[in-house]
Structure 1
């Protein structure tokens, strides 16, 4: 067998493997979208698993009976707030760890991220209860920062380590202090990493369920908690559940599709130093 033929076979098998893996990952999402347009009876009928219908009653029920626009708004406020303050604190922390080789601090932040969030839930609930912050955006944003800030820091550390130190030194020669050199020089050229960490941090906050389950109330209920309402002891509203799942997945999917180039550039940007 010639070398070109072996190369062609290898390439064909690789494509088959990629497409098969893609099919397996997209199959649940495809079923979710199709099921969101079906009635309860049609969803439970396995012979009509991939039948296409045009029934919008589930979506009308989601927005009419369950006021999902309010939940979407709450999720956006919490996600944007947790991402913004995560960037505000996480970017200087990541630069400090990268610039001064503070491995201990970096490890401490990593441990805080690895520890199950439920370990913080009871102390937070007690503290926020004493401060009358239960069912407020403040408590949700602060709790979601436990997810967003460590992630931003650990994405940006290798990115800052890949930037030439001479850039900061040149800025200091021109009269900038270290903080000003960071703001005026380092941050503007760190765009791909900042965009990547922001998008992924927002997605993690958007999908967070546990913190919102305990700290949110009727005024600040987010989408993952709202979806939980479709589950009851005696019945599952599959049509409404699938429509709500499409609604919560669509914004994240759209953001990922349009920003995938920046995500790839940001995640690989710190892999090359100098």
Structure 2
């Protein structure tokens, strides 16, 4: 049994390695291209062996536009995720604990409706309110995606928590919200971290809302990356350097929060 299991484990290890390498190639190409010239980026004969240059990074740092857009992305991502969590986590607890599935399905409908179909009425309403080009409109539009995402991730976590723990807290004098705040929320911390990280990544990468609702002062990193592409030519070196700077925060967040992501994604996956 053990002898037969070794070849299987070896084959599985090889398969995992090959799949990992395959999906890592675009990231490796992105990072290496950031240190190439425009000619080297578009030259297929130039692989991993070339003379690195920091000219692309110096150019975008001297311009300052990409750094400003990264700060804007950070502001919009953090604020929209925090506000979404404040709304969605208690909402998920209520839906999961009191079996309010119809309410949850109503919120989920926000994910079903194509966001592009809402851009025209949203733009009209926000323009009438004088909010187009502000952080407010970007945060609100990103919350339209983040709130349903966090809510539906968190529902299963609260459904899996033993209700006896909250009932014991109620016996000790806690209110329903007190039982949620002191008992359910700390136990669901891995799920909350996972949901918030996924919501932040979704906000960080959002392009469509930022393209329509932002201006020169509030445009986010995806819109700034788009500016490297013009009708006549594309600054591939600058684009790759800016994309690297945009990718690094998400990669670092995923690495640092890996333990919570794995725990969070598996904790709500089983019943009983």
Q: TM-score range by the shorter chain?
A: over 0.9
Counterpart of 1:232 (choices 230, 233, 239) is: 230
Whole-angstrom CA distance in 2 between matches of 1:116 and 1:143: 13
Equivalent residue for 2:259? 261
Aligned equivalent of 1:39:
37
Contact map agreement 1:168 1:182 (CA 8 A) in 2: yes
Indicate which of 42, 55, 58 corresponds to 2:56: 58
Report the count of equivalent residues. Answer: 272
For the residues of structure 1 that align with 2:209 and 2:39, how far apart are their CA atoms?
34
- In structure 2, how many angstroms separate the alpha carbons of the residues matched to 1:7 and 1:181? 48
Q: How big is each residue's C-alpha offset from its partner over 1:134-193, in whole Å with a ceiling of 9 and x where there is no partner?
A: 111110000001111111101100000110111221121122221122112211221111
Q: Secondary structure at the match of 2:210?
A: helix
Unaligned runs of 5+ in 2: none
* Structure 1 residue 226: Cα displacement: 0.3
Q: Distance in 2 between matches of 1:117 and 1:19?
A: 37
188, 199, 202: which one aligns with 2:200: 202
Q: Which residue of 2 aligns with 1:142?
A: 140
Does residue 124 (structure 1) correspond to residue 117 (structure 2)? The answer is: no
The CA deviation at 1:29 is: 0.7
Deviation at 1:54, TM superposition (A): 2.1
- Offset of residue 66 of structure 1: 4.5
2:214 to 213, 216, 219: 216
2:6 aligned partner: 8
Conserved 8 A contact 1:39-1:239:
yes
Change beyond 3 A, Cα 1:4–1:185: closer
Q: What RMSD in Å do the two structures reach over aligned CA positions?
A: 1.3
Calculate the TM-score normalised by the size of structure 2.
Answer: 0.96
Structure 1 unmatched runs, 5+: none
Contact 1:94 1:154 in 2 (8 A): yes
Residue aligning to 1:166:
164
Are the counterparts in 2 of residues 34 and 53 from structure 1 also a CA contact under 8 Å?
no
Q: 1:97 aligns to what SS in structure 2?
A: helix
Classify the secondary structure of the residue corresponding to 1:48. coil
Offset of residue 102 of structure 1: 1.2
Task: Indicate if the aligned counterparts of 2:110 and 2:145 stay in contact, CA closer than 8 A.
Answer: no
Q: Tell me, in whole angstroms, the C-alpha distance in 2 between the residues paired with 1:136 and 1:52.
A: 43
Structure 1 counterpart SS, 2:94:
helix
